[in-house]
Structure 1
Amino acid sequence: MHPPASPARQLSMAQVLLCGAAVVTLSMGIRHGFGLWLQPITQDMGWTRQTFALAMAIQNLAWGLFGIFGGMVADRFGAFRVLIGGSLLYAAGLVGMALSPTPGLFALTTGVVIGAAQAGTTYAIIYGVLGRQISADKRSWAMGVAAAAGSFGQFLMVPLEGQLILSFGWQQALLVLAAMALLIIPLAFGLREPGFHGGAPAHRSQSMGDAVVEALRHKSFVLLTLGYFVCGFQVVFIGVHMPSYLKDHGLSPQVASFALALIGLFNVFGTYAAGSLGQRIPKRNILVFIYLARAVVITVFLLVPLSPLSVYVFSAVMGALWLSTVPPTNAVVAQIFGVQHLSMLSGFVFFSHQIGSFMGVWLGGYLYDRTGSYDVVWYLAIALGVAAGLVNLPVRESAIARPAAQAA
């Protein structure tokens, strides 16, 4: 009989939460403000909005694709090495974003390099550590804390990024962010897990291939993955294109910066609440409510007269629903399949999220350039929200039954 696959839990919960939350705060805080660069870059470089949107779309797709492989490496060799590499890539990508002279190079650095960096510094990697180091009775709550930290990063970083652009210009602001991305490296040392030192992989009772096949054959995993597509579509479309949408309707850039900050602030409460509730009620019910509520909130936002007040109310309510899908979705994956391959399986689910992100941000730019309006994409976001709510209804959260030899 094989020994237990998971390494001994020797990291304190406080250390894991503190360092993990700080990493997510930096990584997500930086990326949440990218919408503020759309107009400065396109106007200064003479590019279309579609050019910027395509780079952001590639970034989200690269994030999802590299997330699968980053999760594989983190599950096998530990998160520490992945976080170090992700930090270095983040700094390099931000420098490239600032200095790229052509749309092609801009898409490569802003899209591929930063996307790969985010794959190595965000939720899938951190949640793998949380899953291995924190007991199941506190896991959903801990995931909510980490997601809330990413939301606080948005609240903290977006106004800062807006001020950096105003004070130093968009290029110098990106170079400052590149230096901040390197702060992830010292934080990674607090997430060095026992059992992964010296480059020796931890023992695995189930191969990666078997874990992937098992998950893809599981109905609830597929349904979660489909629902997560919608989450990506909605939040990235709004996050990247709402500043320009508001400016098109005569509202100041400060309204957009404050709106994004409000989303981040209220998402702190929303994600924490979703994680905490996931310890008490079925997580699928939380997901159904979130997706249907988003559809209602967007509908009301489009129906009422647009004003700073309506924007702030929309941002606060949408913020409470923003990344609150993350803790229950990942907690369900851990509950069904265990934590042995959690980063990799979370990466697969998140890849669907990022395909949705690609479609949301790219369609926003494409349809705006073709029609001069974001209306069609707003309507799609509403319809997809209803569909995602219905898709999550049949999800079952019970642990998968495995043969006795494999379970041992």
Structure 2
Amino acid sequence: MEGPGPRKIARYCAGFGKGYPRPHRAAPRQSRPRAVRGSKTLQAKPFSENRLFSYVRTNPQGWLVVLVMFLALSMVSTTRASIGLAMPSLERDLGWSRSFISTVVAYALICMALTSPLIGNLLDTFGPRRILLGGLVVTAAALGLSSQVSEAWQIVIAYSVFGGIGFGIVSKNVASATIARHFDHDRGFAVGVANAGSTAGHIALLPIMALILTTFGWRWGYLFLAVVCLALLPLVFALIRPEAPGAQHAKGRLGADEVVPAGLAARLRMLFSNRTFLALLGSYTICGFTATGMIDTHFLAYAISCGIPVVVSATAYGVLAAFNMGGMALAGWLSDRINRPHLLAVIYIMRGLSYIILLMVPVYDVNLIWVFVVMFGIFDYSTIPVTTSLVATHVGLRIIGLSLGMLAMFHAGGAALGAFMGGVLFDMFQKYDGVWIAAVAVALIAGMLSLTIRENRTPRGFGKSAPPRPAAAEA
């Protein structure tokens, strides 16, 4: 019988006297594997437990804020979509035309765009809790007033003015700025999960609103949304602290002597002098042009014009919304791990290429519409967590509210331009091919703008630092 090989004998001799088991004895099996980190020996935990709960353990307060923002965005997104659901009832009961109701929605979007920078600046000054509480109160008031309207001017005041201001306060940019102040690590993933609430509301609350509307009427539906809005007030008050922990960390990152102007005009001048912010501003404006402006406005009309039934078209839009949720979470997770400007460029380029599928739908197969909604859904809202993460490090957390507010305003402007241009091109050519070709072109431009940004995960602030104080003065 052949004896042990030379490698086995060498291992035995090297380990002899050091506590290693001898070759002819079986090594004792441990009940649980142990992991060694430095000089400390830690008990290894199951893989699934580490993956599922490691995020929450590292920052439990921050993830409670994510939960609050997820619920708030779900409610507000449902409120914004509810007027489309109630449109036939408003036409029947009050005799309003569809063009007038659409104008009411447009006025609300204008109010959202105009208030976003102001609300962002207030968030940087007073913190997120006061801003969100005020936004929920204003939104609840808008919903309550909307449930009682009987004249055209009343819906303009209730929904367009009060609702537009409320929607601008409880918005994606405010949610992103709030979460960025609470997270040092996994910021992108947290922002993506919270903003997924803007899509989850369509899936969870909108069917309930539809049920109430068909059973009791549209007035009771708006009262239901007002009650849900008020129910979030104690949750916001209890779980969002007056001063976010992240804000204190932000001051440490920027430096104790970092100069940040107090006036809004000075902050805006400082903001528009930053090349990274200008690149993000251009790409985010195109984001609104290609997403909210074109798809949210013209997708259903295009699908119906291709011969796809209304119910199937609406279902496809719902599938797109579902993939929005996963796309935001995935993009946020990736933004914490890979080069963010490259990731943002890939998102814009892939979004642009997805429009080519729309061009193929009437020519090849209408079933390609399902391929489009999956692909576009993944790359639709996924720009939000990546853009927020870049703003946090390249612009600074101390003015992130104002920064995201400006981005939101230009995003809304791009959306308005996209919706208008889509209608003009369709009226000119009686088809949407020119609309989708324009979307491909500008999306590629957004991808190129993103590539001009340099990756730098070291947070930086604006302004010139004050000269160091003498040691005697510090003493």
Superposition TM-score tier, normalisation by shorter sequence:
0.7 to 0.9
SS at match of 1:341: helix
Question: Aligned in 2, Cα 1:255/1:10: closer, same or farther, shift over 3 Å?
Answer: closer
How far off is 1:19 after superposition?
1.6
CA spacing shift, 1:320–1:280, aligned 2, 3 Å = same
Residue matched to 1:61 = 110
- Tell me, yes or no, if the aligned pair for 1:57 and 1:357 is still in contact at 8 Å: no
Assess if the C-alpha contact under 8 Å between 1:295 and 1:383 holds in 2: yes
Matches of 2:146 and 2:429, distance apart in 1: 28
SS at match of 2:452: coil
Q: Secondary structure of 1:206's match?
A: coil
Calculate the aligned-residue CA RMSD, in Å: 3.5
Query: Within the alignment, does 1:225 sit opposite 2:281 as a pair?
Result: yes
CA deviation profile, 1:233-271 (whole Å, cap 9, x unmatched): 233232244344445555444334423322221111100
Following superposition, the deviation at residue 225 of structure 1 comes to: 0.8
The one of 118, 125, 129 aligned to 1:80: 129
TM-score w.r.t. structure 2 length?
0.72
How many angstroms does 1:301 deviate by?
1.6
Which SS does the other structure have where 1:323 is aligned?
Answer: coil
Relative to 1, partners in 2 of residues 1:184 and 1:114: Cα closer, same or farther, differing over 3 Å? same
Give the AA of the match of 2:128: A
Asked if structure 2 preserves the Cα contact closer than 8 Å seen for 1:208 and 1:341, the reply is: no
Is the 2:124–2:400 Cα contact (8 Å) retained in structure 1? yes
Which string of whole-angstrom CA distances, capped at 9 and with x for unpartnered residues, describes residues 310-332 of structure 1? Answer: 44332222211121110111111
In the alignment, structure 1 residue 278 sits paired with structure 2 residue 315: no
Secondary structure class of the residue paired with 1:133: coil
Aligned partners of 2:330, 2:174: CA distance in 1, in Å? 22
**Structure 1 gap ranges (5+):** 1-8, 197-201
- Say whether 1:322 aligns with 2:380: yes
Call closer, same or farther: CA 1:181–1:187 in 2, change over 3 Å. same
Counterpart residue number, 1:145: 193
C-alpha displacement of 1:407: 10
Any residues of structure 2 matched to 1:336-347 within 5 Å, and which? 336-347=394-405
What is the match of residue 127 of structure 1? 176
Which of the numbers 253, 272, 277 marks the counterpart of 1:216? 272
Q: How far apart, CA to CA, are the structure 1 residues paired with 2:268 and 2:71?
A: 30
* Paired residues of 1:233 and 1:353 also in contact (CA < 8 A): yes
- For residues 246-300 of structure 1, give each alpha carbon's deviation from its aligned partner in whole angstroms, at most 9, with x where no partner exists: 4555544433442332222111110011111111222222221222222221221
Q: Is the Cα–Cα contact under 8 Å of residues 155 and 262 in structure 1 kept in the other structure?
A: no
Query: Which is bigger in relative contact order (C-alpha 8 A, separation at least 6)?
Result: 1
**What is the distance in 1 between the residues matched to 2:379 and 2:468?**
36
**2:292 — aligned with what?**
236
Partner residue of 2:36? none
Counterpart of 1:188 in structure 2 is: 236
Structure whose residues are more often helix by fraction: 1
- Relative to structure 1, is the Cα distance of residues 229 and 278 closer, same or farther in structure 2, using a 3 angstrom cutoff? same
Aligned to 1:3: none
Q: Provide closer, same or farther for how the CA distance between residues 279 and 175 of structure 1 changes in structure 2, counting only shifts above 3 A.
A: same
CA 1:164–1:190 in 2, change beyond 3 Å: closer, same or farther? same
Aligned-partner SS, 2:75: helix
Greater mean deviation of Cα atoms: 273-282 or 43-52? 43-52
**Aligned-partner residue type, residue 195 of structure 2:** A
The one-letter code of the counterpart of 1:127 is: S
> For residues 314 and 82 of structure 1, do their structure 2 counterparts lie closer, same or farther at Cα, with a shift above 3 Å needed?
same
Q: Would you say 1:390 and 2:419 are equivalent positions? A: no
C-alpha contact (below 8 Å) 2:65/2:240 kept by paired residues: no
Structure 2, unaligned stretches of length 5 or more? Answer: 1-57, 245-250, 470-475
Give the conservation status (yes or no) of the 8 Å contact 1:23–1:121.
yes
Aligned-pair CA distance for 1:366: 6.7
**Is residue 207 of structure 2 the alignment partner of residue 207 of structure 1?**
no
Q: Does 1:269 align with 2:329?
A: no
Distance 1:261 1:233, change over 3 A: same
SS of 1:405's equivalent in the other structure is: coil
SS at match of 1:182: helix
1:332 aligns to what? 390
How many residue pairs were aligned?
394
Please name the residue that 1:23 is paired with.
Answer: 72
- Cα 1:21–1:174 change in 2 (3 A) is same
Call closer, same or farther: CA 1:179–1:44 in 2, change over 3 Å: same
Deviation string, structure 1 residues 163-185 (Cα, Å, up to 9, x no partner): 45544554543343333232332
1:404 counterpart residue number: 465
Change (3 A) 1:37 1:194: closer
Moved more, 99-108 or 308-317: 99-108
2:316 maps to which residue? Answer: 259
- 8 A Cα contact 1:36 1:257, kept in partner: no
Return the alpha-carbon distance in structure 1 between the equivalents of residues 468 and 86 of structure 2.
50
SS in 1 for 2:136: helix
Percent of residue pairs bearing the same amino acid type: 26
1:37-48 residue pairs with structure 2 within 5 A? Answer: 37=86, 41=90
> 1:297–1:48: structure 2 CA closer, same or farther, 3 Å change rule?
farther
CA distance in 1, matches of 2:328, 2:373: 15
Contact 1:71–1:347 under 8 Å retained in 2: yes
CA contact (8 A) 1:71 1:344 kept: yes
Alpha carbons of structure 1 residues 33 and 291: separation in structure 2 relative to 1, 3 Å: farther
Displacement of 1:358 in angstroms is 2.4
Deviates more, 1:208-217 or 1:342-351: 208-217
* Residue matched to 1:302: 359
- Looking at structure 1, the residues matched to 468 and 187 of structure 2 have their Cα atoms a distance apart, in angstroms, of 21
- TM-score with structure 1 length normalisation? 0.82
Q: Is the 8 A contact 1:15 1:190 kept in 2?
A: no
CA distance in 1, matches of 2:153, 2:90: 14
